[in-house]
Structure 1
Amino acid sequence: MDDDLLQLPLDERLNHKLRNSCAAVAARATCPSIWRARRQLQPLAGVLANLFGHADKNVRAEATNLTVTLYSYLGDAVKPFLESLKPVQQKDLEAEFAKVANGGQLRPTRAVRSRKAAMAAAGAAGGMDADMGMDQQQQLPAAMALPDPFDFAEPVDVLSRMPPGIADALGNPSWKVRKEAIDALLVAVSVPRIADGRYAELVRAVVARIGDTNIVVATVAVQVLDKFARGLRGAFGPYTTSVIGPLLDKTREKRASLLEAVRSALDATCDAGSLDAIQPEVLAAIAHKIPQIRTESIRFLTRCFTSLPAPPSSLDVKAYCEALVKAMDDSTTDVRDAAAQALGTLAKVVGDRLVAPYVKKLDPIRLAKVQEYAQAAVVKGGCGTAASGGGAGKGIGDRARDAAGIDTATTYG
């Protein structure tokens, strides 16, 4: 391959009139060795479409290979690039993606200089070796995170995609009319990114269908809320207080498919809102008379803890700890176990010192269970650097006993 071709930017190489195919080969070959920032990937949006429209079948074949390789490293982040392709091409690519194990999980073998600097900074803060191979690093710092498909997608005005009068149709006495309306709504909101808009009336209409007597309508309604929350993200925040309560109440559901849909929608709602905003509804659900709702609500709270972008406030820690410690005395085993896991996870997020005063009254067996969960917790969000232990080798059990004024050596010596 000519040296002058390699000197060109990636998008110019791939647009070269005579050497598209070999340029695609070169681009594919660089993926395992270079960690590409978003600004380097963005030009691929238009270039991939050009390659797939090329008259030369070899170019089209290499375009497919390049796209599959990108998918191996970026996962769904590559899909917004493909929206302008022909349906048959998209179908063929989806078939190829299905053959890729753990799409988006591969890691480059080395980093560009700017990324090495980020790794060095992260290493100074958290003990990561800047010279360590990227395939040896199990968790990447935020500065090294994979591109997010949401960042690449253009916001879609979903209101323009909906049939007129859809909110009224959702309340129609006929289940068939409601089913057609909710199905059409699911299609409309099934996009990577939804444009900000006034969705309050529509969200209320969908929430009302969560309790629909027709199980199919109820399931699709939950899926619509899931899509709304993931498509709007932070812009869905104002709707979380009206959505979270009905979703938590629906965790009483015995059907596995609907319960899984509810869990997914709850997680999306948590990501779009804040622990403070949903606190009243969550605390009420933790104290619900139905054990399954109590259990699922606490498990949901645990999942929220693991994905927090920032530590919760001291007021939130107090409110949730008090409710969870009370749940540790629940008559149902699942509730007690879920509460122990939630307390342990929260300790991993905010540090043992903040949680210890609330768990100091727990008996040694239950306290040990909390500490076990704290040590095993995996935090996915931006928290957790003040993880369990935090000094002098003490865990949450030791700190709780310190808070209670108990001599550990005397009690357990």
Structure 2
Amino acid sequence: MVVEMYRWIGAALRPQLQAANLQPVQITELETEFSKIEGQKASPTRYIRSQQEKQAKIAAETVQDNGEEDVEEDEVPQEIDPYELAAPVDILSKLPKDFCEKLEAKKWQERKEVLEILENLLKTPKLENGDYGDVVRALKKIVQKDSNVVCVALAGRCIASLATGLKKRFQTYAGFCVPALLEKFKEKKQNVVTALRDAIDAVYLTTTFETILEDVLEALNNKNPSVKIETSLFLARAFTKTSPATMNKKLLKAITAVLTKTINESGTISCVC
């Protein structure tokens, strides 16, 4: 049954299997079976009455006036987004009641401990609706002001997971995350930079370029070369995920002017769009 489900919905089934807490040996056995049917297209062989009528109508429309049938091209199967199949998970009720207070603890180990609790809760593909404002603001504060790089990296990863789990519902919080993430690129520790990259990329997918334009321009004008470089690299990644139709002349003119200015600045990378 599971193998047949995979034939129909493909890779979108994998997150559901992971959530089912199967044993590693069971996962291995299933993956072996999946590999045998990889690329096979499933199609229905029987229809209910309403579907039969629909199929008959489609078949009739393909018959040309001379009585010959058009040769139909194989339909390209639509990929199913695993996110759409996932059940939303409520993590807010599972957080410690003093979550925000613990993030203010003087000992970095205590802050790290509560951040790890959140990170583990966020290991789910889809989050339930809710007010995440206090959580996001607390994470933003860690990114901005915490002196411990381990805590900063953890906060960055949590922001990325929140954005991924909420998708467009995270847009409400994107506005005050972006400037904090970009400005923190002054940190040179690789674990922090990697976490910040993942966070800013995930947050961008929840919002629009126009919404974050001012924050991006400010970061490109930052005196710190690392902030300029990482912001330019972020733009290069963001443009590959942006529809040209959304980039009007006003936006392009604003961003091009700043990028052109940085081309000759020593140590700064400008992305060519």
TM range (shorter): 0.7 to 0.9
Quickly say closer, same or farther: Cα 1:322–1:94, change in 2 above 3 A.
Answer: farther
In structure 1, distance between residues paired with 2:89 and 2:74 = 41
* Equivalent residues of 1:247, 1:266 under 8 A apart: yes
Q: Which runs of 4+ in 1 moved over 6 A?
A: 96-100, 109-112
Aligned to 1:7: none
Aligned to 1:147: 80
**CA shift digits 1:301-357 (9 cap, x unpaired):** 11111112553233222211222222223233x42xx332xx2xxxxxxxxxxxxxx
Shift of 1:297: 0.1
2:142 equivalent among 194, 205, 209: 209
Give the aligned length: 245
1:322 correspondence with 2:254: no
In structure 2, distance between residues paired with 1:216 and 1:94 = 33
1:189 equivalent among 122, 134, 138: 122
Aligned to 1:282: 216
Shift of 1:169: 0.9
Quickly say closer, same or farther: Cα 1:78–1:283, change in 2 above 3 A.
Answer: same
**CA shift digits 1:206-244 (9 cap, x unpaired):** 111114222211111111000000001101111111111
Q: Give the counterpart letter for 1:314 in structure 2.
A: K
Which fold has the larger relative contact order, with Cα–Cα distance below 8 Å and residues 6 or more apart in sequence? Answer: 2
In structure 1, distance between residues paired with 2:214 and 2:192 = 24
1:339 correspondence with 2:246: no
Shift of 1:202: 1.4
Shift of 1:98: 8.6
1:221 correspondence with 2:155: yes
Write the mapping of 1:395-406 to structure 2, written as runs, cut at 5 A. none
Aligned to 2:64: none
Aligned to 1:389: none
Structure 1 segments unaligned to the other structure (5+ residues): 1-13, 15-23, 42-69, 118-129, 135-143, 344-413
Shift of 1:250: 2.1
**CA shift digits 1:117-151 (9 cap, x unpaired):** 9xxxxxxxxxxxx95897xxxxxxxxx55221111
Write the mapping of 1:21-36 to structure 2, written as runs, cut at 5 A. 27=4, 31=7, 36=8
In structure 2, distance between residues paired with 1:323 and 1:97 = 52
Aligned to 2:238: 304
Shift of 1:257: 2.3
In structure 1, distance between residues paired with 2:73 and 2:193 = 45
Quickly say closer, same or farther: Cα 1:111–1:321, change in 2 above 3 A.
Answer: farther
1:161 correspondence with 2:94: yes
Shift of 1:196: 1.9
Q: Give the counterpart letter for 1:291 in structure 2.
A: P
Alignment RMSD: 3.2
1:253 equivalent among 187, 196, 201: 187
SS at match of 1:272: coil
In structure 2, distance between residues paired with 1:293 and 1:96 = 47
Structure 2 segments unaligned to the other structure (5+ residues): 45-54, 59-71
Shift of 1:184: 0.9
Quickly say closer, same or farther: Cα 1:329–1:110, change in 2 above 3 A.
Answer: farther
In structure 1, distance between residues paired with 2:126 and 2:186 = 30
Shift of 1:253: 2.6
Write the mapping of 1:1-400 to structure 2, written as runs, cut at 5 A. 14=1, 27=4, 31=7, 36=8, 41=9, 70=10, 74=11, 77-82=12-17, 85=20, 87=21, 89-93=22-26, 107-108=39-40, 131=73, 145-210=78-143, 211-309=145-243, 311-332=246-267, 334-335=268-269, 338-340=270-272, 343=273
SS at match of 1:197: coil
Quickly say closer, same or farther: Cα 1:99–1:249, change in 2 above 3 A.
Answer: farther
Amino-acid identity (%)? 26
* Equivalent residues of 2:149, 2:189 under 8 A apart: no
Shift of 1:200: 1.2
Q: Give the counterpart letter for 2:239 in structure 1.
A: F
In structure 2, distance between residues paired with 1:145 and 1:242 = 36
* Equivalent residues of 2:153, 2:195 under 8 A apart: yes
Structure 2 length-normalised TM: 0.77
Structure 1 length-normalised TM: 0.53
